[in-house]
Structure 1
Amino acid sequence: MKFHVVCIGKLKESYLREGVAEFIKRMRPYGGITITELNESKIGDKPSDAERKQVVKEEGQRLLKVVPKSAYTVLLDVYGKTMSSETMASMISKLEVDGISDMAFIIGGAFGVSDELRQSVKYKLSFSPMTFTHQMVRLLLVEQIYRSVKINRNEPYHW
């Protein structure tokens, strides 16, 4: 399985960049993770609701354009379903058995994601009912992808 993370914005904090880089390195023997970062849309300091909605819509359209067409799409979404690490591993395993070779995880920007984007994906995943920054979610996601691969191979996992 080839994993793709498509997201808005660059990681600003060094500890997040280092953590993501570590899991990308760990994933190399298992097919790897490709991360595609798209620029955040330009918006003023005090945007109106209409301006925020426009940014969310535009970012959603740009995200969808770069997702591999054959990929099983998963949106990281506060309104999505939660799952255990073992359930995520099982989901990935089933997709592989079904002949899916690409899985794309989509992370929206600071203002969230559009309904259009929500409706276009195959699965909506929430890590928690708590709110995390979209940058922190990226680190959590790559760690969970790595953990899923290790679970599916019955290999030990140690951080």
Structure 2
Amino acid sequence: MTHQDLAIRAFHPSDEPGVIQLWQACGLTRRWNDPRKDIARKLTVQSDLFLVGEVDGAIVGSLMGGYDGHRGWINYLAVSPAYQRRNYATALMAAVELKLLDLGCPKINLMIRSGNVAVKGFYDSLGFSQDEVISLGKRLIPDC
């Protein structure tokens, strides 16, 4: 799939360094989440929902999608700061939405960090709305 000059395709293992660099540039990595382990885990489950966006062969975007049979999930949506405001994130979301629809997925959920209020407007523009839920988490395998 392409969008203007953005080519969207499935992640390849050789993309790992570029994707991690992208996540770091976008402030998505955290010391308690090893991005290499996150990628390795994703490659064992629905790897076709892990997308990258390229411009002239350089990785400038990523999106890690998933579907558990009840809801779709979005993680690691990132566009390089130098390539933002070009609708690349919207194109990545549209691409994964088509894939999720093909799987019969009725709804997508995602979480944004409470400190990342700037991105909420982006998701609002795509039709997302805040659900009245409390997100809880429990780490089963520590990464560090």
Of the two structures, which has the highest relative contact order with CA contacts closer than 8 Å and spacing of 6 or more?
A: 1
If the TM-score is normalised by the length of the shorter chain, which range does it land in? 0.3 to 0.5
Q: TM-score, normalised by structure 1?
A: 0.32
Q: TM-score, normalised by structure 2?
A: 0.34
Larger Rg: 1
